[in-house]
Structure formats: structure tokens, C-alpha cells
Structure 1
Amino acid sequence: MAETAGKVIKCRAAVAWAEKEPFSIEEVEVAPPKAHEVRIKMVATGVCHSDISFLNGLLPSAAKFPTILGHEGAGIVESVGEGVENFKEGDHVIPLYMPQCFQCPGCRHPKSNQCLKLFPQQMQGLMQDGTTRFTCKGQSLHHSMGISTFSEYTVVNDVSLVKINEEAPLEKVCLIGCAIATGYGAALNTAKVEPGSRCAIWGLGGIGLAAVMGCRAAGASKIYGIDINPDKFETARKFGCTDVLNPKDFEGKKFADVLTQMTGGGFDYTFECIGNVNTMLDAVESTNRFYGVTVLVGIAGHEKKMDLSPLLIVSGRTLKGSFFGGWRSVESVPMLVDEYMSGKIMVDEFITHKLKLDDINQSLELMKDGKCVRCVIHY
């Protein structure tokens, strides 16, 4: 048993004290895991655009301040609480912001991948017993997405965790905890892209490129990558885009009409991976009016509304949402790790920057400026 088992651990974490403020690197105290909880020594974490959204208050239910954000990590089990059966000290694991308990209505329904067991407490930034395991300067800190990976140690519920292949590099497969699974699954599971299909992806960040990868894996014949930053186009082609477009090159024209004309009637599948209601509408309008499918992957602010005419849908279009790529997390994440290890999916190519925890604010700037695909923080 680890010498630290049952004891409070002092470590470093990126604390978000208030909305729209930079992260502050602090010493925090991480309490031992309680029943059905696991404490993890984090090895690495990706920085997701959603973390920027949470920090800016766009989704108040996802971040209660002060908090420790982060939801795309990997690490090693340090200790387990009472009643934990599936994990032990030393296991290599990926924390899951979408749990899988196998028992709740969401887990039992064959068409759902969303677990409801921890949802009320998770939305309050708390563990299942309504308390927190993080303290800093005598003040309790909230958890985020149930896993809080921007800390050298974190505590999660045992249904929010999965054991993976110990040969897998944790500093790389951490990205399977969000970006790669989310975009890749949106194409394969939610849209169910078919061979020969014509697809378009709005937003060529980590999730968008994973959607491109999914469309290519499904056998799409045409994959259009759409972004206002042309610096992303070379990378997009490496992931599988056959065509790349910058909407700014068509100013003065309705972009959806341009795409519909360009494709002779519209795309079979479109994916919005930005979270902008205007590009969401473009994605819908540029699908084939009789059978086109649009998948919303990007998350817009809670107050945003899309001005969608029912006439766009009634002729046969389908509008769908996708969360965590439709994967059932405990069942699927180890499989995706194994697919990476066998060379079936790309992971290394997503990582453009390797940074230390002290540089986490720099990672936000790189992402906002479109100068990275994924920054990975190494502990």
C-alpha cells in the first residue's frame, strides 16, 4: 500500500478562483478517497476548448467557482476507498467525465451513452456525498466534470474511471478522454457515416480533426474541412480532408448556398465542432434537404439560440446532438486506447505542444489564437 494511502496529500494544481480570471498555480490539499472513490496521481492532461468556455462562465452548470477544471487526463491509481473492487494501486487509468454505472436509466437504455448516477452532484461541483476532496488556503474547492484533471492528484468516483493497457503512453492517450473520442465517435456512432458519403466539418481543432478521422475511417469519399484559420488546412489534409474552405473567402455570399451549389445538392453529413449558433445553422442548411444529417458536437453558451426554420427539417433533414461521441465510456475507452496502440487511430498527431503546469495559461492563449491542436500538460 502507498505510504500516502489514507492521508491528505499536498500537491500543486491550477485553481480557477473566479470566472474569467487566469489560472493560479497553488498548493492544494487532496483528501483520501471515501467509499467507492479512487485517488489518482495524474501523469498528463490535455487542455480542451471547453475549459476556456467553463472558465469564461459560458456553462455555469459545468463550473462552480472556485474550482479545479480539466477533464482530459490520464494517471496511475494511488489509493482506493472502501468498496472499490475494480481498481487497485498502480493501475493505469483514464478518468471519465461521462461515467458508466451500468445501472441507471441512461446506462440501461440501448440508445443512450449518458450515465445519470452522479449527475446532480457533478453539476454542483461536488462528490456523490455532497462534499469536496480539494482544499486550498483553508477554502473548499469545487470539482469539475467529476474528475478535475488540472491537479497533480485528484479523486473520482469509481464509476468515473476506467483501467487501460499499461503499455499505452499516458501522456498521449489522455486525449482519448475527450477530444479524440468525441469527434471520432460523432462520425462513427452518432452520424453513422457510410462509405462514399460527402461530409463537412466546421472547426478544425482537436474535436473537428477527430471527426475528420472518423469520416475517413467510415469511408467517406469527400471530406470538407471548414475553418476561418487557413493555418489549420495543412494539418486537416493530413487527417483526411479532401477539401478545405475558409468562409471568409466567400464574403458577400450565403455560405450554405455556396456549399450546396458546390456539392450539387448538399452534404450527406455535416458536423459542427465549434459551438457557434451561426455555423450550426450553416451546417444544417448545407446538407441535402431530403436526407442530410447534421450532428452538433460543439457546445454553445446556455443563453444562445439557433434561429432554425422548421421548413429546413420537414423535407427530410435530421438534426442530432452528440456527447462524448456516443461512446459508452467504460466499455469503449479501453478499446480506443487499444486501437491507438495497434495503429488504427491517430493520437500523436493531435499533440502540438507539451507544457508544464506552470504554463497552463499559455495553453489557453495558444488555443484561443488557433496556434495549437492540443496542448498536453505533463506533471
Structure 2
Amino acid sequence: MSASIFKQSNVITCRAMVAWGAGQELVMEEVEVSPPHPLEIRIKVVCTSLCRSDITAWESQAIFPRIFGHEAAGIVESVGEGVTEFVEGDHVLTVFTGECGTCRHCQSDKSNMCQVLGLERRGLMHSDQKTRFSIKGKPVFHYCAVSSFSEYTVVHSGCAVKVSSFVPLDKICLLSCGVAAGLGAAWNVADISPGSTVVIFGLGTVGLSVAQGAKLRGASRIIGIDTNPEKCEKAKAFGVTEFLNPNDCNEPIQQVIKRITDGGTDYSFECIGDTGMITTALQSCCDGWGLTITLGVPKVKPEVAAHYGLFLTGRTLRGSLFGGWKPKTDLPSLVDKYINKEIQIDDFITHNLPFEDINKAFSLMREGKCLRCVIHMPR
């Protein structure tokens, strides 16, 4: 298929990897991308990473055809009416949950749940509940307000963060979701204290980012739990001090953790996306002040069930969306930390693939053979 891109009446025709049905291999298609509407920007995607939540939605959600992808970086191609923050040529990170700056939640220091640009669930733009993608006049739906598996995409200006043109986009794109989510869960939501004990269920990019954040906060013991033995050595590089595989244990993993930590850890993190594991995580932290943070996106059974006694004895369960970061306010500081070598990102990138190999990235992640695959768009 031709990789040429042209403008006609300010509509761009470009290539995108389109999902036509749940679990079906993505197909390279020519799509029309509308010009940005008021307060929107159109972005030339430079690189995008595959996140586990893309796969979860691709396997289970009913909104198709759809363009997935949300962990991305690119260059502003054009801006819509009323946009003053961005100009053509700006380098940006995309974010799946925005920051309008004026709603009750954006004005509060207790929340990052923007009431205007929060989670997009129906595959439509926030402003007018329509799409900006089409194929031969028929709509193609968005995902997470970004849809970065396309050479060009349109996002609300509140769902993009300006970065320096000197920052490597193929690295910091991971701050659009996974790495930032894990670090924020450790720093903002749990507020891990020095000398504390931590257990992390699931050692993908998010779980290992939690480990990195816990290490930087001075946690004395960071226990990583995963059924993939290949995660062991990689986890130690991010701060995990002990690795446990539940399949190798003769007793329930929560009992193992309580036994080796004298009653449970100070903090536990559920990074799998399995609501059944939330109870296990709760049981793994200590009475009195044990805090469990859940970050995973469940594939099935979204309801959480736990015995009231776990809470009566002083444990707390908290959810974490994007690590509590206000994206436009806080992401620039994380970019600075990367540039200053205060946090690591590069080691999360296990594969670099061309745009046409996105389906290979899906296979690698589903088989547990990667952390992050960065997809490079044609120049």
C-alpha cells in the first residue's frame, strides 16, 4: 500500500492499522483524518508504544472498526480554532485522560479525574461525540481519546503535553501511560515511605515502574510476584529485591508473603488487571495500616469482592488512574527527571518495530515476551 500522504480540503488521507473486530488481526488501511475542530490539534505520530490496555480492549470491547493506540508522541501538524498553547511543529506527548484546567477536579489537588476530558469510553471525541476518522465516508472509532496507530490523529488540546524538541520521542512516549502510571502509584497514591516493605503483583511495565518508584523512595524490601520466571532478572534491575512465582509455592502466595514479612507488607500493588487478585493483595498487606493500590484494567469480572474483615482490621484499598498525575501539569517534570537520569525508561523498551509490524507487537505482548514494543512510524 502506498505510504503517500496528501491533503485535500484540509482532510488528510494516511495509513492506519484498523481493528475490525474483537481479537482480529489489525489491517493496514487508508483512512481520512478530518481537520482539527475548535480546541483540537492534529498530530503527525512519530512513535507509539503498545500498552496492555490496548490488547484488553481489542480482545473484549464491542466498538469497531477502531484505531487503537494511546501511548504516543508526535509533532503538531495543525491546530484548531481557539488553540493558543500549541503551534505547528511543536513536539507533544499524547495522554489518554486530559486536563481542562478549570473543572472542579482540575482545580483540586486531590484528584486528576478531569470532568471534561476524563476517560473516553465510546470511541468518540469529547467535544461533539463524533469521530475524526473515516474510510470511504464510514466512521472509524477512536480509542482512549488518542488512536495513535495511525500516521496522523486528532486529539483535544487538553489531551496533549508540549515537550522540548530535543527530547527523544521514541523513549518518552512511555510516559504517556505505563511508566508514569507506575511511578505515580508509588509516589502520589501510595506515598511510599523510606524503609517500608512493598509487594507487587504483576511485573509488566506498570509493575516494574512501581518497583522503580519504590526503590527511589527508599523502600527496604520490594517483593515481585509473577508467574513468568523470565521476569526475575529483569525485575531486579528495577529494584525488586525478591522474586516469587506462585506456581512454585506450596501455600497460597498471600500466606507466603505474610509469613516472610512478619504479618504482611506496608504496601501492596495489583498491576495485573485481575479483580480476584485484589483480595490476594489486600490479604498480603498488614493489619492496621496496610495499603493496597489497584492499577490493572480487568479483562473480565470488573466487580471487586472482599471480606469486610480485611477493612475492619485497618487495611485500605485505593484505585489509581495514571498514577494520580495531572497530565499537563505534572508530565513535564517526569520528562525532566528522565533527561536528568533520575528515572529510567530505556530499559522498558524490549523491541523496536516498524509500523507495519504492529501485529507482531500484539503477539509478543500476549505471549509475555516483551515489556514495551515501540512502533516507529514512517518518516
TM-score, scaled relative to structure 2: 0.95
The alpha-carbon deviation at position 4 of structure 1 amounts to: 4.9
Structure 1 5/188 Cα, relative in aligned 2: closer, same or farther at 3 Å?
A: farther
- After superposition, where does 1:92-107 map in structure 2 within 5 Å? 92-107=91-106
Count of matched residue pairs: 371
Match of 1:9 in 2: 12
1:275 to 253, 268, 273: 273
Are 1:51 and 2:50 counterparts? no
Unaligned runs of 5+ in 2: 1-5
2:32 to 18, 29, 33: 29
**What is the letter of the counterpart of residue 282 of structure 1?**
T
RMSD of aligned Cα (Å): 1.5
Distance 1:321 1:85 in 2: 34
**What is the letter of the counterpart of residue 181 of structure 2?**
T
Distance 1:6 1:310 in 2: 60
The alpha-carbon deviation at position 110 of structure 1 amounts to: 2.1
Match of 2:360 in 1: 362
The alpha-carbon deviation at position 279 of structure 1 amounts to: 2.0
1:265 to 260, 263, 266: 263
**Other structure's SS at 2:230 match:** helix
Are 1:194 and 2:193 counterparts? yes
Distance 1:185 1:158 in 2: 23
**What is the letter of the counterpart of residue 329 of structure 1?**
P
Contact 2:264 2:285 in 1 (8 A): yes
Distance 2:196 2:344 in 1: 21
Contact 2:99 2:117 in 1 (8 A): no
Distance 2:218 2:9 in 1: 51
- After superposition, where does 1:151-170 map in structure 2 within 5 Å? 151-170=150-169
Match of 1:133 in 2: 132
The alpha-carbon deviation at position 351 of structure 1 amounts to: 0.2
**Other structure's SS at 1:41 match:** strand
Distance 2:286 2:301 in 1: 29
- After superposition, where does 1:80-99 map in structure 2 within 5 Å? 80-99=79-98
Contact 1:165 1:334 in 2 (8 A): no
The alpha-carbon deviation at position 302 of structure 1 amounts to: 5.9
The alpha-carbon deviation at position 137 of structure 1 amounts to: 3.4
**What is the letter of the counterpart of residue 89 of structure 2?**
G
Contact 2:17 2:150 in 1 (8 A): yes
- After superposition, where does 1:176-195 map in structure 2 within 5 Å? 176-195=175-194
Match of 1:333 in 2: 331
Are 1:310 and 2:313 counterparts? no
Distance 1:69 1:167 in 2: 27
**Other structure's SS at 1:216 match:** helix
Match of 1:231 in 2: 230
Match of 2:292 in 1: 294
**What is the letter of the counterpart of residue 226 of structure 2?**
D
> Which whole-Å deviations, capped at 9, do the CAs of 1:222-266 have from their partners, x for residues lacking one?
001110001011110001111111011114x12211110011110
The runs of at least 4 aligned residues of structure 1 exceeding 2 Å deviation read: 3-6, 301-307
> Which whole-Å deviations, capped at 9, do the CAs of 1:59-98 have from their partners, x for residues lacking one?
x4xx721111111000000010111000000100011111
Distance 2:123 2:178 in 1: 22
1:321 to 319, 322, 326: 319
Contact 1:5 1:79 in 2 (8 A): no
The alpha-carbon deviation at position 5 of structure 1 amounts to: 9.3
Distance 1:202 1:303 in 2: 18
**Other structure's SS at 1:123 match:** coil
Unaligned runs of 5+ in 1: none
**What is the letter of the counterpart of residue 341 of structure 2?**
G
Distance 1:95 1:25 in 2: 22
